[in-house]
Chain A
Amino acid sequence: MLSPLYLVAAALAASFTLGLLNPKRSGAAYAITLVTLAFMAWVPAGWLWGFMAEGAQPVEIYTAGALPPYAINLRMGLAEAAMTLLITLTGLLSALYLKESLIKLGHRGMAVLMVALMAFCGIVLTRDLFNLFVFFELAAISTAGLILLSEDERALSAGFKYLIVSQLVSTFLLIGILFAYHASGTLNLDTMASARLPHGSAPSFALAFFLMFIALVTELKPFPANGWALDIYESAHPAYSALFSAAAATASLYAVDKLLLVGGPGWYPMATGIGITTFLAANLFALPQGNDRRLLGYSSLAQIGLILVVLGQRDLLGEGTPFIAFGLLVSHAVAKAGLYWLSGLVGGRSLTDWAALRGRPLLVFAFISFVAMLTSLPPFPGFYAKWELVRVLAGEGRLALLALILIGALVEAGYLFRWFGYMLKREAPAEAVNGEPHQVVPVYVAVLAGWVLGYFWGELSGVGLGHHNLLLSLPLAFALGFLLLDWLPAWVKNTLAITGMVAFFFLTYAEYDPLRLIFALIFLIGGAITLLASYDAHGRRIGFYPAAMLMYAGMVMLVRANDSFEFFAAWELLTLGSYFLILRGKHSEPHALSYILFSLGGAFLILAGFALAAGGAAQFPITALGQVAPAVAPWVFLLLATGFMTKTAAIGLHIWLPGAHAEAETDVSPMVSGILLKAGLFGLFVLLMAMGKQRLYGVELTHVLLWVAAFTALLGNLMAVFQEDAKRLLAYSSIGQMGYALFGLALMNHLGWLMALMFVINHYIYKSMLFLSVGGVAKRTGTREMYRMGGLIRLMPLSFIAVLIGIIAISGVPPLSGFGGRWIFYNAILASDYRLPMVILFLAGPVAFLYLFRLIHSIFLGQLKDELRRVKEAPFWIALPQMLYVGLLLAFALAPGLALRRVDTYLNLFFPEGGLHWEGFEITSDYGYWNPVAIMIVVAVIFVSLFAWLLFVNRRAQKVKQFNIVFSAERPFRPETTHFAWNFFAPYRKALGFLVQPYATTFWGALTDFLHTAGDLARRLYDGNGQSYALHFLAFVVIVFGVGV
């Protein structure tokens, strides 16, 4: 292991030597630069290996042959090795990226770059305060130099603004250092820390420390003293911005961390306060931002602010601080460097210009990997860090801080995912991506590093906290494997996917309890059946399988989760996968965004709920939810239930669903509706099973759920009634159906639960089937508007059968399984005490008839449109699963016991009272009996007789052809208004329309508008004038002094 002094010496020697070269030999100078940078990276790499693999101990490196505190010393420990490696690698890759630019600038430019990196490393390594100042000045000067050498003319003024502020900063820093020296008699950080007097007893030292602290913190670009940083990020060459964001920020963070060591815990609140303010403000200001590099700049400020919060919470986090701080830091550094490098490949500076990347799937993958890293999604290091941070904060009761962090993170996810949507969905600019190999390689290295670090953090979290490494879990590995196989044709991947899912089910089915078995069946086997429809797709279908498999992997992991960590990780994975799936739809960009935001919001509630429940414990089995302390239990319940209800689209939180489900691709709609919604129900099952009834301020929470459920059912159905778009109609219908299921659960009795489970199964079958049939019809007719269809019964008989069976099942009339659900439901209601919400639920029933009727009536019956005369039946692979579903529905209708009997027994564990009695085909409850087979026969007989009679009566009816009608001479402005199937239920709308006004949509829309406007107004603070920025800094100093000291 080479002394890190060689790192410093190499950088300087190379910089000085370059001056001896003939200025025309720029190529040679560039080669020397690369070799030197590689050497500089190799030194800490050796140390890191030594610390990690060989168990080496941290080393003090002395200079000048004297011991500290009398001479300057450096330290090389695990943290230092990791950070200097991060810095030097970023530098090496940036130098690679900058090839043309550096060769053009010549040896002096390269020297400045090397000195900059050496200075960043020096900041990390040194243990001497004044030496820290020297390295900071070196960093500042070389940074300003690099900015000066950027190609963008505007960088000039940005660099000057930076120099103005750094002059002020270094003044404070120097005065602080000298007074600290005077007060403590030393410049050595460790000696000063051990000589530290109790806080408050040495006012001059405290004052000196404040000056040093505020100066170093300003290097982290805190709000509001950060206008200069944004200007730099926007205008500097992206490779330099990558350096500033990744390397310089790393160094400055560590400097602040070292300084906090001297200051002690008394200064932690100040760090936290500055950090959280910056985090929130930067994220808010980023929201209305349209320039990509400035947006990344805001995001950088926010991330660094968050890490500062972590440092400020050291008193709670203790030994765990590095795990969290580094997890966030490496995620930030790798992702930000990668994104800045990417931004150099994109020609335009508007966010929508990134659509140019769309033609390069690997770069798209890189982009989304970076976004996932920044938003702390699994399996990246930030995810583990986020989990740990939230766990500790909640455990120690710092809930306000926790809430602020989560709010900020949600805003950040908002603008990052919005950007991703632009990239995939907006019109690509004519100018294609110009990726030279030396510019693309750094991006790929960053992606790879991100994934490797994700694996590594998984291992760390396994060692320290006993969590499983997510990347080692079989379902996730299987899903990620499709990334490598994406070059295969779609049908091969489809076969692989189906085989994998079925095989996994058969490998594991013995491990599930009856309740989980039902969910596993739906997720795995149900998912496989739905995937049959995907055989219809041609080509390679890039991106579909990784996304779909990610969603299924998440759902399987959810069912298999034992503790809250696994559960939450699975939840985020399935959310992410389904988001990608939904985003694939042609017009789904805004809907996918609202989906991911609601889902992440819900996920954060779940995260907070689990953390609150765990009370700081590292391991928290799901079953332990039942033993949560009574003081917090209702809050945990509220958080978790609300989180799960965002996924089941309970009223108020439902606005993402219609668009997301309706705009998805034909085979995706059944997945995200028929299958994905069940994840939310599963969560509610688990929650209610463990926690039961909870009271908050005397209100029984399950009772509240009951009301929510009833309104969800009624309003969901009502909204479905007024849709013209067939897929939207089905989507709204899902909201209503989920209301029913939630209602059953909230009844908190045996039959209620059984009914909910019945809905789980039924809804999976018929909603998948209906989405497929309607999707098939839409595919053939080219429209989803029902009034544009009509008379398709002869042309698409299979789809007709599927829809007919489906709506009979949904509407809950005999003989199909929907009736079974209703039957159990009525029994459940009789067994329960809540009558009022039930009335509402009853109302919802007939409303369902109205919209279901339209599906048959407007699509398949009536007159065939002329332009649809040549329409064919849905493609084979879309029709096949529908027929399978028909078979399944009939089977489940005849013998519900196959699925439910074991569950019924299992539910006795929780509700010993009120179970059903199963005997042969007959099912008996306390209130009556139900024999599905008998009912089926009776209904069949009635139907056949009626049908025969009708045929007989109408045998001589005259068939009216479409063109037998005479039109009047008028040509209406909106032709659809004259169509009888348009606005079919207008009278009802008149009567009940007030119930379906988009209050929720208006509310959420107003909230986002407000945030945008606030951000837009507030960022005018940054007026671009260097003197204003100087004043901001002075104001920052004065405010922090006033508030903190």
Chain B
Amino acid sequence: MVKRLGALLLLLAIGGIFTSLLVGYVPDTELNDTARYYAYHTAADIGSANIVTAIVITYRGLDTLGEVTVLFLAAAILGLVLARGRRQAQARRALTPVGELLTTGSRVLVPLIMLLGVYVFINGHLTPGGGFQGGAVIASGVLLLLLAGPRKPFAHSLIAAVESLAGVFYVVIGLMGLVLAGGFLDSRVLPLGVLGALFSAGTIPIIYTLIGLKVGAEFSVMLSDLAETEELG
């Protein structure tokens, strides 16, 4: 009880700090210097219609590489930990059979979901969306598969290869920017093309595709790892 009271008091004080941030906050009426630069230069320099994508993939590409690495780390650690757990939980209890509805529904939906995922990451430089969103959509398809057929053998090695290769190619494209264009992760290795076209904005669509594949693969691996160890308890 004392602990909760202390926690409340402390959070009250933190809330005070937040309140003064809130009170001091005045929305900008004009774009600040950085944002204005992006607004003016993205179209000409990067050729991406979605300015946020230009920032994510090119201007702040190093962040995004880090982001991808975060997911990679999470998947790797999860895999390691759960792989060890798996060995201990060998005995499996019988599962209730999966319903007809789910099986049939997944057969219809999974290809569509996959297609949507690919669409989302390929068009990342044109519309709201991108590799992370697309990858997550793909992974949701995998989740559906897992739900529909929990005992189905899961193509671990294929997915692992996709994940690794996508990662390696991402780094290689980044290095190509360093060698062929203005710097690491510079997307102007390929021509910029026409603003708004599918094949435009240099390497951005390629990078987003790689990210989409990688993220999709990573989430899938995580989900299947978790699914295969659920019997603990």
Chains A and B touch (C-beta atoms under 8 A apart): yes
Check A5/B73 contact, CB under 8 A, given A72-B60, A108-B79, A185-B33: no
CA distance A66 to B167 in the complex (A): 24
Contact B60 A131, beta carbon cutoff 8 Å: yes
Which of B101-109, B141-149, B158-166 forms part of the interface with chain A? B158-166
Task: Judge whether A122 is part of the interface by a CB distance below 8 angstroms.
Answer: yes
Question: B216 to chain A: closest CB distance in Å?
Answer: 15
The listed residue (A12, A112, A175, A1037) touching B77 by CB distance below 8 A is: A112
CA distance A119 to B65 in the complex (A): 12
Question: Which residues B12-58 have CB closer than 8 A to chain A?
Answer: 13-14, 17-18, 20-21, 24-25, 28, 32-35, 37-38, 41, 45, 58
Question: B119 to chain A: closest CB distance in Å?
Answer: 25
The listed residue (A106, A141, A1031) touching B80 by CB distance below 8 A is: A106
Give 1 or 0 for each of A53-96: 1 = CB within 8 Å of chain B CB. Answer: 00000000111111001111000000000000000000000000
Task: Judge whether B171 is part of the interface by a CB distance below 8 angstroms.
Answer: yes
Task: Judge whether B177 is part of the interface by a CB distance below 8 angstroms.
Answer: yes
Which of A15-23, A478-486, A774-782 forms part of the interface with chain B? A15-23
CA distance A211 to B61 in the complex (A): 25
The listed residue (A66, A135, A210, A1031) touching B10 by CB distance below 8 A is: A1031
Residues of B with C-beta under 8 A to A1042: 13
CA distance A109 to B77 in the complex (A): 8
Contact A175 B21, beta carbon cutoff 8 Å: yes
Question: A298 to chain B: closest CB distance in Å?
Answer: 25
Question: Which residues A140-173 have CB closer than 8 A to chain B?
Answer: 141-142, 144-145, 148-149
Task: Judge whether A186 is part of the interface by a CB distance below 8 angstroms.
Answer: yes
Residues of B with C-beta under 8 A to A149: 77, 80
Check A145/B73 contact, CB under 8 A, given A66-B45, A66-B182, A130-B63: yes
Task: Judge whether B115 is part of the interface by a CB distance below 8 angstroms.
Answer: no
Residues of A with C-beta under 8 A to B6: 1031
CA distance A128 to B13 in the complex (A): 30
Contact A1037 B63, beta carbon cutoff 8 Å: no
CA distance A179 to B21 in the complex (A): 8
Give 1 or 0 for each of A699-739: 1 = CB within 8 Å of chain B CB. Answer: 00000000000000000000000000000000000000000
Which of A201-209, A455-463, A541-549, A687-695 forms part of the interface with chain B? A201-209
Check A1034/B14 contact, CB under 8 A, given A64-B186, A108-B76, A108-B77: yes
Check A15/B72 contact, CB under 8 A, given A63-B184, A175-B21, A179-B21: yes
Contact B177 A131, beta carbon cutoff 8 Å: no
Considering the complex, give the chain B residue whose CB is closest to the CB of A107. B76
Contact A16 B168, beta carbon cutoff 8 Å: yes
Considering the complex, give the chain B residue whose CB is closest to the CB of A149. B80
Question: Which residues B53-98 have CB closer than 8 A to chain A?
Answer: 58-63, 65-67, 69-70, 72-74, 76-77, 79-81
CA distance A64 to B184 in the complex (A): 6
Check A63/B61 contact, CB under 8 A, given A111-B76, A182-B28: yes
Question: B232 to chain A: closest CB distance in Å?
Answer: 15
Considering the complex, give the chain A residue whose CB is closest to the CB of B59. A71
Question: B161 to chain A: closest CB distance in Å?
Answer: 6
CA distance A179 to B178 in the complex (A): 32
Contact A65 B181, beta carbon cutoff 8 Å: yes
Considering the complex, give the chain B residue whose CB is closest to the CB of A106. B80
Task: Judge whether A448 is part of the interface by a CB distance below 8 angstroms.
Answer: no
Task: Judge whether A134 is part of the interface by a CB distance below 8 angstroms.
Answer: yes
Give 1 or 0 for each of A488-512: 1 = CB within 8 Å of chain B CB. Answer: 0000000000000000000000000
Question: A894 to chain B: closest CB distance in Å?
Answer: 81
CA distance A203 to B181 in the complex (A): 42
Task: Judge whether B125 is part of the interface by a CB distance below 8 angstroms.
Answer: no
CA distance A138 to B68 in the complex (A): 10
The listed residue (B59, B70, B181) touching A137 by CB distance below 8 A is: B70
Residues of B with C-beta under 8 A to A17: 164, 168
Residues of A with C-beta under 8 A to B69: 12, 15, 115, 138
Contact A1031 B59, beta carbon cutoff 8 Å: no
Residues of B with C-beta under 8 A to A995: none
Q: How large is the interface on A (under 10, 10 to 19, 20 to 34, 35 or more residues)?
A: 35 or more
CA distance A226 to B129 in the complex (A): 40
Considering the complex, give the chain B residue whose CB is closest to the CB of A13. B171
Contact A131 B62, beta carbon cutoff 8 Å: yes
CA distance A5 to B61 in the complex (A): 12
- Main secondary structure, interface of A, reads helix
Most buried by B among A16, A72, A130: A16
Question: Which residues B168-188 have CB closer than 8 A to chain A?
Answer: 168, 170-172, 174-175, 177-178, 181-188
Contact B60 A65, beta carbon cutoff 8 Å: no
Contact B182 A19, beta carbon cutoff 8 Å: no
Task: Judge whether B152 is part of the interface by a CB distance below 8 angstroms.
Answer: no
Contact A65 B177, beta carbon cutoff 8 Å: yes
Task: Judge whether A1035 is part of the interface by a CB distance below 8 angstroms.
Answer: yes
Question: B130 to chain A: closest CB distance in Å?
Answer: 16
Residues of A with C-beta under 8 A to B24: 203-204, 207
Task: Judge whether A977 is part of the interface by a CB distance below 8 angstroms.
Answer: no
CA distance A61 to B187 in the complex (A): 17
CA distance A131 to B28 in the complex (A): 23
CA distance A211 to B41 in the complex (A): 32
Task: Judge whether B11 is part of the interface by a CB distance below 8 angstroms.
Answer: yes
Task: Judge whether A910 is part of the interface by a CB distance below 8 angstroms.
Answer: no
Contact B74 A141, beta carbon cutoff 8 Å: yes
Task: Judge whether B3 is part of the interface by a CB distance below 8 angstroms.
Answer: yes
Contact B77 A145, beta carbon cutoff 8 Å: yes
The listed residue (A19, A141, A208, A1034) touching B11 by CB distance below 8 A is: A1034
Question: B25 to chain A: closest CB distance in Å?
Answer: 7
Contact A5 B184, beta carbon cutoff 8 Å: yes
Check A19/B160 contact, CB under 8 A, given A134-B67, A185-B33, A208-B21: yes
Task: Judge whether A3 is part of the interface by a CB distance below 8 angstroms.
Answer: yes
CA distance A109 to B80 in the complex (A): 8
Task: Judge whether B7 is part of the interface by a CB distance below 8 angstroms.
Answer: yes
Residues of A with C-beta under 8 A to B61: 63-64, 72
Contact A65 B188, beta carbon cutoff 8 Å: yes
Contact B21 A204, beta carbon cutoff 8 Å: yes
Check A187/B184 contact, CB under 8 A, given A70-B59, A134-B66: no
Residues of B with C-beta under 8 A to A8: 62, 65, 184
Question: A957 to chain B: closest CB distance in Å?
Answer: 87
Task: Judge whether A1038 is part of the interface by a CB distance below 8 angstroms.
Answer: yes
Question: B18 to chain A: closest CB distance in Å?
Answer: 8
Considering the complex, give the chain A residue whose CB is closest to the CB of B164. A19
7 A-B residue pairings within 8 Å (CB atoms): A71-B59, A108-B76, A111-B72, A137-B70, A141-B73, A175-B21, A1035-B10
In the A-B complex, list the 10 residue pairs whose CB atoms are closest, starting with the nearest: A65-B182, A16-B167, A185-B32, A19-B164, A65-B186, A204-B24, A134-B66, A145-B77, A108-B76, A1034-B10
Beyond A66-B183, A108-B77, A126-B62, 8 additional pairs, beta carbon < 8 A: A9-B184, A19-B161, A61-B183, A63-B61, A64-B62, A66-B59, A112-B77, A207-B17
Using a CB–CB cutoff of 8 Å, the interface residues on chain B facing chain A are 3, 6-7, 10-11, 13-14, 17-18, 20-21, 24-25, 28, 32-35, 37-38, 41, 45, 58-63, 65-67, 69-70, 72-74, 76-77, 79-81, 160-161, 163-165, 167-168, 170-172, 174-175, 177-178, 181-188
